Amino acid sequence: MSVLLDVQELQTRFQVRKGYVYAVNGVSFKLEEGETLAVVGESGCGKSVTMLSLVRLLPPAASIENGKVLLRGDDLLQIDQRQLRDVRGGQIGMIFQDPMTSLNPFINIGTQMSEPLIYHRGMSKKEALARSAELLEMVGIPDGEARLREYPHQFSGGMRQRVMIAMSMSCEPAVLIADEPTTALDVTIQAQIVELVKELRDRSGVAVIWITHDLSVVAGIADRVIVMYAGYIVEEAPVDALFEDPRHPYTVGLMGALPSLEGETGTRLTTIGGSPPDLEDLPDFCPFHTRCPYSIDRCRTENPMLEPVADASDRGHRAACWVDIREVEVQSNGAGASS
Amino acid sequence: MSQSVNGNSEPLVRVENLTKHFSVRIGAYGETKATVHALDDVSFDVQRGETLGLVGESGCGKSTAGLTLLQLHRPTSGKVFFDETEVTGLPDKEMRPLRRRMQIIFQDPYSTLSPRMTIGNAIGEPLWLHELASGQEVQERIAELLDDVGLNPAFAFRYPHEFSGGQRQRVCIARALACEPEFIVCDEPISALDVSIQAQIINLLQDLQEEYHLTYLFIAHDLAVVRHISDRVAVMYLGRVVEMAPKEKLFDNPLHPYTNALLLSVPVPNPRQERQRQHTVIQGNVPSAISPPSGCRFHPRCPLAFEPCDHEVPEWREVESGHWVACHAV
Q: Which residue of B has its CA nearest to A334?
A: B200
| Confidence at residue A274, expressed as pLDDT on a 0 to 100 scale | 80
Q: In which domain, by residue range, is B292 found?
A: 254-329
A214: contact with B, CB 8 A cutoff: yes
In chain A, where are the structural domains located? 3-222, 229-278+285-335
Q: What is the CATH number of domain A3-222?
A: 3.40.50.300
* Residue B27 belongs to some domain of the structure: no
Cβ-contact B41, B19 below 8 angstroms:
yes
Q: What share of chain A is helix, strand, coil (3-state, %, to 5)?
A: 35, 25, 45
Question: Using the beta-carbon criterion (under 8 Å), do A187 and B198 form an inter-chain contact?
Answer: no
pLDDT tens, B283-317?
777 888 888 999 999 999 998 899 899 999 999 99
Question: Using the beta-carbon criterion (under 8 Å), do A338 and B166 form an inter-chain contact?
Answer: yes
State the distance between the two ends of chain B, measured CA to CA, in whole angstroms: 31
Please state the rounded mean pLDDT for residues B99-110.
90
**Contacts of A325-334 spanning 24+ positions with Cβ under 8 A:** A325/A247, A325/A248, A325/A249, A325/A252, A325/A294, A326/A247, A328/A294, A330/A293, A330/A294, A331/A293, A332/A293, A333/A256, A333/A270, A333/A271, A333/A293, A334/A249, A334/A253, A334/A270, A334/A271, A334/A272, A334/A273, A334/A291, A334/A292, A334/A293
Question: Using the beta-carbon criterion (under 8 Å), do B150 and A159 form an inter-chain contact?
Answer: no
A332: contact with B, CB 8 A cutoff: no
Closest CA to B48 of B81, B79, B95, B78: B81
Closest CA to B18 of B70, B92, B94, B85: B70
Q: Which residues of B touch A258 (CB under 8 A)?
A: 195, 199, 224, 269
For residue B298, the one-letter residue type is F
| Confidence at residue B9, expressed as pLDDT on a 0 to 100 scale | 64
Instruction: Using the predicted structure, report yes or no on whether residue B278 has a pLDDT greater than 80.
Output: no
Touching B: A residues 284-323, CB under 8 Å:
none
Please state the rounded mean pLDDT for residues B71-76.
93
Cβ-contact A222, A38 below 8 angstroms:
yes
pLDDT tens, B94-103?
998 999 999 9
Q: How far is CA B190 from the centre of its chain?
A: 12
pLDDT mean by block of 10 residues, chain A; 339 residues:
92 92 94 95 90 93 94 94 92 87 92 94 95 92 90 89 93 94 85 91 95 91 95 95 94 88 77 84 90 91 91 88 83 41
Instruction: Using the predicted structure, report yes or no on whether residue B207 has a pLDDT greater than 60.
Output: yes
Q: Which residue of A has its CA nearest to B275?
A: A220
A129: contact with B, CB 8 A cutoff: no
In which band, very low, low, confident or very high, does the pLDDT at B186 lie, cut at 50, 70 and 90? very high
β-pairing verdict for B77-82 and B11-26? antiparallel
| Confidence at residue B279, expressed as pLDDT on a 0 to 100 scale | 67
Touching A: B residues 145-164, CB under 8 Å:
149-152, 155, 164
A263: contact with B, CB 8 A cutoff: no
Select the highest-mean-pLDDT range: A23-32, B30-39, B126-135.
A23-32
Name the DSSP class of B226.
H
- Please return the burial class of B216, using the count of CB atoms within 10 Å of its CB with bins 0-12, 13-18 and 19+: buried
| Confidence at residue A56, expressed as pLDDT on a 0 to 100 scale | 93
How many CB atoms are located within 10 Å of the residue A16 CB? Answer: 11
Closest CA to A161 of A137, A132, A185: A185
pLDDT above 70 covers a percentage of chain B that reads 96
Instruction: Using the predicted structure, report yes or no on whether residue B2 has a pLDDT greater than 50.
Output: no
Task: Report the domain count for chain B.
Answer: 1
For residue A49, the one-letter residue type is V
- B58 vs A186, A258, A336: nearest CB: A186
Question: Using the beta-carbon criterion (under 8 Å), do B57 and A214 form an inter-chain contact?
Answer: no
Question: Using the beta-carbon criterion (under 8 Å), do A188 and B279 form an inter-chain contact?
Answer: no
Sequence-separated (6 or more) residues with CB below 8 Å from residue A304 = A286, A320, A321, A322
User: Does this complex have an ipTM over 0.90?
Assistant: no
More confidently predicted of B327 and A327: B327
Q: At what angle do helices A157-169 and A109-121 cross, to 10 degrees?
A: 10
Question: Using the beta-carbon criterion (under 8 Å), do B264 and A191 form an inter-chain contact?
Answer: yes
Q: Which residue of A has its CA nearest to B198?
A: A257
A216: contact with B, CB 8 A cutoff: yes
Hey, of B148, B196, B226, B231, which one would you mutate to test binding to chain A, going by the most A CBs within 10 A of its CB? B196
B278: contact with A, CB 8 A cutoff: no
CA distance B99 to chain A (A): 29
More confidently predicted of A100 and B243: B243
Question: Using the beta-carbon criterion (under 8 Å), do B198 and A195 form an inter-chain contact?
Answer: no
